[in-house]
């Protein structure tokens, strides 16, 4: 053991930054295209931005008196006017009271100044920008005809009266102000009665003026309401069942066909490149294009009916893609998806086959193993990592099947989870329920991936 002399500087270990630089793009990709969208979807699904309305101890003040949930029924006790700051009316249309500061002569000839509500003032003259300058006092109608209009010290009916103006009296307008109406309301939350002041822009007051509901809140809260709405959606069970049914029908067939196609390519036959080109054709087509192609085949005037009719197998064209023939729509979607995505699985399997040593296959052949025995006992066990990747990828893509279903079934007769996500977001404009659907798809994808990984790991541990 060597002892380092005192005073000798200690050597610093050189940090290798190359691995961190290489992994940075992958981390950024996961952050931008996976982590951020996932957190946003979960947030929309379980967080209500306007879930609670804060009640104030006094109109326009910050002191809290409680909070009511959005949609809660309320009783109106009183109302007050509060000056409205520019840009303050966010969250809904505010109920406004407009007041004018006017100057005119009383019935006795004295000059008086004060505030009058918009309902008592008729604007006669404005400047080029639309600011009122002069006007007249509106006459009172009905049984109150002949009564004077009172002026107040401040823009509030409860303020002191500073004078009166006769009907049709000419007035000068010095100022205009907008006041938002605040209501003193009472409601129930968690079996507890709460009361406080709330702005009109957050409330929906019914026609009687004495009752209403909380229309929108000003505080977010955690909620399972959007998930409950998703579960109670009339299309949810049908979409979930159809999605799982298509998974069970598509994935096994695709795996078998992909393995057969990969073995054909790996066999290096005479027309190997031709087979590869034919098998790879679906890779160049988008989901929607595939759906349109197969729709032209299965439609009533499509190629399938033309061929069957020309062969004399049917007497008249059959309708396959209708509400009465839902099973045929499922068959069409199944065939289209198998044709579309099998090539993708084939590419993964081919890459796995090329990683298998030819010496292993030749040794199995020398020991007298038949083709089926080589496939079963040599090729398939060595293909497990590739098949695991293919299973995870195809399961995730099967959960997201959408365009083919829309093209063949319109999304009404046959629906899937991805289609319901689209319907909630674009047709119903309900981002929260759409986020709940997308979160469910994400959850099912993660669960399936974990199941595949644990199953393969368990088999490897059992073998070892």
| Structural domain contains residue 340 | yes
Q: Which residue has the higher pLDDT, 29 or 8?
A: 29
Domains held by the chain: number: 2
| Structural domain contains residue 91 | yes
Q: What share of the chain is helix, strand, coil (3-state, %, to 5)?
A: 50, 20, 30
Are 217 and 262 in the same domain?
no
Share of the chain above pLDDT 90, in %: 26
Mean pLDDT of 9-19: 68
Tell which phi-psi region holds residue 400, choosing left (phi > 0), alpha (psi between -120 and 50) or beta: alpha
Q: Confirm if 235 and 378 have CB atoms less than 8 A apart.
A: no
Cα–Cα distance, 438 to 152 (Å, whole number) = 58
Are 121 and 255 in the same domain?
no
Q: Token pair of 25, please? A: 């793009």
| Structural domain contains residue 258 | yes
Q: Residue 286: how many CB atoms within 10 A of its CB?
A: 10
Q: Which residue has the higher pLDDT, 463 or 150?
A: 150
Are 407 and 276 in the same domain?
yes
Cα–Cα distance, 6 to 27 (Å, whole number) = 44
pLDDT higher than threshold 80 for residue 364: yes
pLDDT higher than threshold 90 for residue 361: no
CATH number of residue 351's parent domain:
1.10.3720.10
Q: What are phi and psi of 206, to 5 degrees?
A: -75, 175
| Structural domain contains residue 57 | yes
Given 207, 223, 239, the domain boundary residue is 223
Are 218 and 236 in the same domain?
no
Are 151 and 247 in the same domain?
no
| Structural domain contains residue 25 | no
Residues whose CB falls within 8 Å of the CB of residue 149, separated by 6 or more in sequence, listed in order: 116, 120, 137, 138, 140, 164, 165, 166, 167
Cα–Cα distance, 132 to 352 (Å, whole number) = 81
pLDDT higher than threshold 80 for residue 144: no
Given 223, 257, 282, the domain boundary residue is 223
| Structural domain contains residue 31 | no
Give the pLDDT band of residue 8 (cuts 50, 70, 90).
Answer: low
Cα–Cα distance, 277 to 257 (Å, whole number) = 16
Mean pLDDT of 279-296: 86
Cα–Cα distance, 124 to 102 (Å, whole number) = 13
Cα–Cα distance, 376 to 356 (Å, whole number) = 14
316-342 per-position pLDDT tens digit: 888 888 888 888 889 999 999 999 888
Are 122 and 258 in the same domain?
no
Given 199, 223, 247, the domain boundary residue is 223
Are 358 and 386 in the same domain?
yes
pLDDT of residue 236: 93
| Structural domain contains residue 44 | no
Are 203 and 260 in the same domain?
no
- Domain that residue 162 falls in: 51-223
Are 245 and 144 in the same domain?
no
Determine the 3-state secondary structure of 412 from DSSP. coil
Cα–Cα distance, 449 to 388 (Å, whole number) = 9
349-358 per-position pLDDT tens digit: 888 888 888 8
Are 99 and 242 in the same domain?
no
| Structural domain contains residue 170 | yes
Give the pLDDT band of residue 168 (cuts 50, 70, 90).
Answer: confident
Report the first-to-last Cα separation within the chain, whole angstroms: 41
Are 317 and 426 in the same domain?
yes
Are 72 and 108 in the same domain?
yes
Determine the 3-state secondary structure of 314 from DSSP. coil
What sign does the dihedral 65-71-76-78 (CA atoms) show?
positive
Cα–Cα distance, 298 to 322 (Å, whole number) = 11
Q: Confirm if 250 and 258 have CB atoms less than 8 A apart.
A: no
């Amino acid at each position: 053991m060597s002892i380092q002399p005192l005073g000798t500087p200690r050597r610093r270990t050189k940090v290798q930054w190359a691995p961190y630089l290489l992994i940075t793009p992958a981390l950024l990709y996961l952050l931008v295209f996976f982590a951020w969208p996932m957190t946003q979807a979960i947030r929309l699904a379980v967080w209500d931005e306007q879930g609670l309305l804060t009640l104030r101890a006094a109109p326009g003040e910050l002191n809290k008196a409680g909070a009511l949930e959005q949609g809660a029924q309320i009783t109106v006790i009183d109302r007050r006017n509060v000056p409205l700051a520019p840009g303050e009316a966010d969250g809904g249309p505010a109920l406004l009271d407009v007041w004018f500061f006017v100057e005119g002569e009383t019935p006795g000839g004295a000059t008086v100044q004060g505030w009058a509500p918009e309902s008592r003032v008729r604007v006669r003259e404005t400047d080029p920008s639309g600011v009122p300058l002069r006007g007249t006092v509106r006459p009172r109608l009905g049984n109150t005809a002949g009564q004077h209009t009172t002026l107040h010290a401040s823009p509030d009916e409860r303020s002191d009266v500073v004078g009166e103006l006769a009907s049709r009296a000419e007035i000068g307008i010095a100022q205009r102000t907008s006041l938002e109406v605040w209501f003193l309301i009472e409601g129930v939350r968690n079996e507890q009665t709460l009361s406080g002041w709330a702005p009109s822009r957050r409330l929906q007051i019914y026609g009687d003026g004495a009752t209403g509901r909380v229309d929108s809140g000003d505080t977010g809260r955690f909620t399972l309401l959007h998930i409950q709405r998703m579960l109670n959606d009339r299309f949810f069970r049908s979409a979930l069942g159809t999605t799982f049914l298509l998974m069970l029908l598509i994935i096994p067939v695709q795996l078998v066909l992909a393995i057969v196609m990969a073995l054909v390519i790996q066999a290096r036959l005479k027309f190997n490149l031709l087979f590869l080109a034919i098998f790879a054709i679906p890779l160049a087509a988008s989901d929607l294009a595939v759906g349109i192609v197969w729709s032209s085949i299965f439609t009533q005037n499509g190629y399938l009916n033309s061929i069957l009719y020309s062969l004399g197998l049917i007497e008249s064209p059959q309708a396959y893609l209708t509400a009465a023939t839902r099973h045929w729509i499922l068959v069409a979607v199944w065939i289209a998806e198998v044709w579309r995505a099998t090539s993708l699985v084939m590419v993964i399997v081919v890459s796995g086959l090329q990683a298998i040593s030819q010496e292993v296959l030749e040794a199995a052949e020398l020991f007298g193993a038949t083709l089926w025995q080589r496939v079963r006992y040599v090729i398939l066990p060595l293909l497990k990592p590739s098949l695991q990747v293919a299973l995870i990828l195809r399961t995730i893509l099967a959960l997201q099947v959408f365009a083919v279903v829309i093209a063949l079934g319109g999304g009404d007769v046959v629906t899937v989870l991805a289609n319901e996500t689209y319907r909630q977001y674009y047709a119903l404009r309900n981002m929260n329920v759409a986020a709940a659907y997308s979160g469910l798809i994400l959850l099912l994808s993660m669960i399936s991936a974990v199941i595949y990984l644990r199953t393969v790991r368990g088999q490897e541990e059992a073998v070892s």
